[in-house]
Amino acid sequence: MKGVFPLNKFAKLRTPFYYYDTELLRTTLRAINDEASKHEGFIVHYAIKANANPKILRYIREAGLGADCVSGGEVEAALKAGFSNDKIVYAGVGKSDWEINLGLDNDIFCFNVESIPELEIINELAGQKGKVARIAFRLNPNVGAHTHANITTGLAENKFGIAMRDMETVIELASQMEHVKFVGLHFHIGSQILDMGDFQALCNRINELQTQLESHHIRVEHINVGGGLGIDYQHPNRVPIPDFKAYFDTYAKKLKLRPGQTLHFELGRAVVAQCGSLITRTLYIKKGAQKQFAIVDAGFTDLIRPALYQAYHKIENISSDDVNETYDVVGPICESTDVFAKQIDLNTTHRGDYLAIRSTGAYGEIMASGYNCRQLPMGYTSDELL
Ligand code: LLP
């Protein structure tokens, strides 16, 4: 089974470009809201880092999600897309002064603080404005995730978060500061996680920490468990929507929320990955000594995931129904890592055929670069091509 694409509409567009199926995005957002709203106190934010295309942000904001940002630029993108300031959370190990000031000026919901020096600077900058910043501490829970090493974040060896053993010290420190208010704890263990056991391990760790805090009479208003829910890269047509039920149910069953506590999520990939495809045209079919190459006009400047994480993306020739042949699908960039897939079967491919590189709505367009002086890819939604 292949995905369905409006080829006649593609003819006037310069390739490569991202194509977003807004019907699927809407259905995904509905599934998130349906499942999360079954549980009291669950609040879902969208991790803007996955895709900040303003057209995509609009749909997500309209569905009522909050925004999880990791830079001043993302806070600006969230505000511009109409996310309300009290639904913006801001994390990151290295927040610059202007970025903190931007968050303060816009009274964002919460800064997720990752170190003591950062806490001190937020207190100082808030003091200069006569404000009190709401802060949560990002703790490093030392919980592994069964995913690619480059995208695990919650191990003691990673640069993220504050060590658990320092938890009480930093909360105590914050309580003595005039211009910060401690409101919560934040965690994030990694990305593309499909084993609910990993999220359970995080829940168990948070339960332990909460008990520990209660013995010191410390109350936490908000718990933020980050994002990380993975998607099915192998079967974008058969499994277009991640299992949000299993995900939220895991937290509902395993995390012991205290009365009145809210539980925040920061989902990125699971929201947008499946609705996007990178559309590229075949430039040449080159028959090498041992294999044949489909050389396409997209490169790792448009989609870096295969080169950076050896990520798999399903590729379909959406112009041809001819019998299958085996190809390496490669881009035009002058680096040997510029390969989208090796030895895959595609319908016999000819110059000019459109290929769809699937499940690229997350960490695709947003990670594009201008290396080789290449132009950045455009992003179009199915709605606007109607
Ligand atoms: N919250 C925090 C603090 C994060 O660091 C991340 C992702 C998320 C939420 C969203 O995670 P998600 O739900 O999307 O898994 N470029 C990589 C992924 C990097 C993820 C970084 N942090 C990739 O293409 O696989």
Point out the domain boundary residue: 225, 252, 272: 272
CATH code of residue 114: 3.20.20.10
| In a domain? residue 386 | no
Point out the domain boundary residue: 272, 289, 318: 272
Residue 290: band (very low, low, confident or very high) from pLDDT cuts 50, 70, 90: confident
CATH code of residue 330: 2.40.37.10
pTM: 0.96
Three-state SS sequence of the chain? CCCCCCHHHHCCCCCCEEEECHHHHHHHHHHHHHHHCCCCCEEEEEEHHHCCCHHHHHHHHHCCCEEEECCHHHHHHHHHCCCCHHHEEECCCCCCHHHHHHHHHCCCCEEEECCHHHHHHHHHHHHHCCCCEEEEEEEECCCCCCCCHHHECCCCCCCCCEEHHHHHHHHHHHHCCCCEEEEEEECCCECCECCHHHHHHHHHHHHHHHHHHHHCCCCCCEEECCCCECCCCCCCCCCCCCCHHHHHHHHHHHCCCCCCCEEEEEECHHHHHHHEEEEEEEEEEEECCCCEEEEECCCCCCCCHHHHHCCCCCEEECCCCCCEEEEEEECCCCCCCCEEEEEEEEECCCCCCEEEECCCCCCCHHHCCCHHHCCCCEEEECCCCC
pLDDT one-digit tens code per residue, 90-130: 999 999 999 999 999 999 999 999 999 999 999 999 999 99
The alpha carbon of 2 and the centre of ligand 1 are apart by a number of angstroms equal to 28
| In a domain? residue 305 | yes
Same domain, 174 and 313: no
Look at residue 142 in the predicted model and tell me its pLDDT: 85
pLDDT one-digit tens code per residue, 43-83: 999 999 999 999 999 999 999 999 999 999 999 999 999 99
| In a domain? residue 349 | yes
User: Which amino acid residue places its CA nearest to atom 23 of ligand 1?
Assistant: 363
Same domain, 211 and 240: yes
The alpha carbon of 273 and the centre of ligand 1 are apart by a number of angstroms equal to 12
The answer on pLDDT for 288 being more than 90 is: no
Same domain, 164 and 308: no
Q: Which residues line ligand 1 (CB under 6 A)?
A: 47, 49-50, 68, 91, 151, 153, 188, 191-192, 226-229, 266-270, 305, 309, 363
Structural domain total, the chain: 2
| In a domain? residue 282 | yes
pLDDT above 70 coverage of the chain, percent: 97
Same domain, 215 and 75: yes
- Region 12-32: mean pLDDT is 98
| In a domain? residue 375 | yes
Its domain, for residue 27, covers 22-272
Same domain, 125 and 203: yes
The alpha carbon of 267 and the centre of ligand 1 are apart by a number of angstroms equal to 8
Same domain, 192 and 313: no
Same domain, 293 and 225: no
Look at residue 207 in the predicted model and tell me its pLDDT: 97
- Region 267-286: mean pLDDT is 98
Same domain, 245 and 306: no
| In a domain? residue 339 | yes
The alpha carbon of 247 and the centre of ligand 1 are apart by a number of angstroms equal to 16
Same domain, 11 and 34: no
Same domain, 327 and 244: no
| In a domain? residue 2 | no
Structure tokens at 94: 């290295």
- Region 317-342: mean pLDDT is 97
Residue-averaged pLDDT of the chain: 95
CB 154 within 8 A of CB 161: yes
Q: Which of 93, 110, 266 to mutate to test the pocket of ligand 1 (most atoms within 8 A of CB)?
A: 266
Residue with tokens 């390969």, as numbered in its chain:
339
The ligand 1 atom nearest the CA atom of 311: 25
Look at residue 235 in the predicted model and tell me its pLDDT: 98
Same domain, 268 and 283: no
Which of 135-149, 175-189, 196-210, 308-322 is predicted with the least confidence, judged by mean pLDDT? 135-149
Point out the domain boundary residue: 242, 272, 302: 272
pLDDT one-digit tens code per residue, 362-375: 999 999 999 999 99
Same domain, 350 and 253: no
Look at residue 157 in the predicted model and tell me its pLDDT: 65
| In a domain? residue 1 | no
